Chains A and B, each alone.
Chain A
Amino acid sequence: AQSVAQPEDQVNVAEGNPLTVKCTYSVSGNPYLFWYVQYPNRGLQFLLKYITGDNLVKGSYGFEAEFNKSQTSFHLKKPSALVSDSALYFCAVRDGLKSNYQLIWGAGTKLIIKP
């Protein structure tokens, strides 16, 4: 069955330090992977995606993510965290073998950046 796991409910990072938000997935076919960010009382905003090609994907606001097929992971990273990065982050996957339009979502990880 398709699934997405974000193993950490919350990640705390000091401003200026690198950050990682973890995501692992399970699909039958090739995965289409996404990261979205949600600020308080706002809708979700697209950050980046992996469809095919280079395993390292760069996205908005200096974020990047690395697709690792052997570990079925798609961790979100940023070299130097900002306080303004504090938000809720969601990983999502679509199974390339499925013909429907459903994205399977992780439960979200709350990222807190402390000054």
Chain B
Amino acid sequence: NAGVTQTPKFRILKIGQSMTLQCTQDMNHNYMYWYRQDPGMGLKLIYYSVGAGITDKGEVPNGYNVSRSTTEDFPLRLELAAPSQTSVYFCASSYPPPANMNTEAFFGQGTRLTVV
């Protein structure tokens, strides 16, 4: 089972460059999330989506954009990379929301992004 797949695994960007982090899941989950993980910190929610065509901001959305054209895919876009966006990014999915009965979020392996 593939689960949640993120690409790329590693990326170095120069300040001002743009890129898209890809995330796809094959579990038919309605809910998808993007988190960033900074050293010594817990995960911070960037954006989430409750279904195709629906997205909403999380805790730290500035500098990022998302789209959800299909159930499977939830790409994260960085338009003008800044050093503050150096982090490890995780995509996750769940059905239904992670705090409901007998459900939990499934995570991808992460994308380590460095902005120099």
Contacts and interface: CB of A to CB of B under 8 A. Distances in A.
Q: Bin chain A's interface residue count.
A: 20 to 34
B12 interface: no
A101 interface: yes
A67 interface: no
A42 B109 contact: yes
B35 to A, nearest CB: 8
A41 B42 contact: no
Interface in B2-37: 4, 31, 33
Contacts of B105: 44, 46, 103
A25 B106 CA distance: 23
Contacts of A41: 109-110
A90 interface: yes
A35 B59 CA distance: 20
Nearest to A52: B101
B98 interface: yes
Interface in B71-116: 90, 92, 97-101, 104-110
Task: Select the residue from A43, A92, A106 with max chain B CB neighbours within 10 A.
Answer: A43
Q: Name the interface size band of chain B.
A: 20 to 34
B42 A90 contact: yes
Contacts of A74: none
A103 B105 CA distance: 10
A103 B41 CA distance: 14
A30 to B, nearest CB: 10
19 contacts: A4-B42, A36-B107, A41-B109, A42-B109, A44-B43, A44-B92, A45-B107, A46-B106, A51-B101, A94-B99, A101-B31, A101-B50, A101-B99, A102-B58, A103-B45, A107-B40, A107-B41, A107-B42, A108-B40
